[in-house]
Amino acid sequence: MIRACIETWSDGRLLVSCTGHAGYDEHGKDIVCSAVSALVQTLAFSLDEVTNENVKYSLTGGNASIEASSLSNEGKTLLRSFLVGMKAIESAYPDNLAVDTRLFQWEQKGS
């Protein structure tokens, strides 16, 4: 199972960590792993290249982390979009992805 944890603070700091393997299918054919990997990489690259946020990231097989000291409103929008995708995957594949947003502290629409 992939475990994803999204932590934010009211001052805009961000930590996203993903660990584990989905186990949906064999390596190279795992659609859950591919989907999560695509979302995580897109968030990291977008925060870095599109918003020019001060972001550090590490993306390796089975582990990923994204850290930012603060996020602009544009960065927060990218993060919310990331969460929409992650929650959709978690809903469809609850045995393969767990998303922990208990430490997500920004006001969310619909909450």
d(CA 101, CA 29): 28
In this prediction, residue 111 has a pLDDT band, given cuts at 50, 70 and 90, of very low
Q: Can you give the CATH number for the domain in which 36 is found?
A: 3.30.70.1490
Q: Mean pLDDT across the stretch 8-23? A: 90
- pLDDT tens digits along 22-63: 999 998 899 999 999 999 999 999 999 999 889 999 999 889
- Find the range with the poorest average confidence among 2-16, 26-40, 70-84, 96-110: 96-110
Is 106 a domain residue? no
User: How many domains does one find in the chain?
Assistant: 1
Q: CA–CA distance from 69 to each of 14, 56, 75 (Å)?
A: 7, 9, 11
Res. 110: pLDDT tops 50: no
Residue 56: closest CA among 105, 48, 4 = 48
Strand partners, 1: none
Residue 51: closest CA among 20, 18, 82, 84 = 82
The answer to whether 103 and 6 are in contact (CB under 8 A) is yes
Look at the alpha carbons of 28, 79, 64, 88 in this order and tell me if their dihedral is positive or negative: negative
Is 107 a domain residue? no
Res. 109: pLDDT tops 70: no
Is 61 a domain residue? yes
Residue 43: closest CA among 94, 93, 6 = 6
47: domain range? 2-100
pLDDT at 60: 92
Half-sphere exposure for 65 (CA within 13 Å, toward CB) = 6
Name the one residue in this structure whose structure tokens are 């700091």: 13
Mean pLDDT over each residue of the chain, to the nearest integer = 91
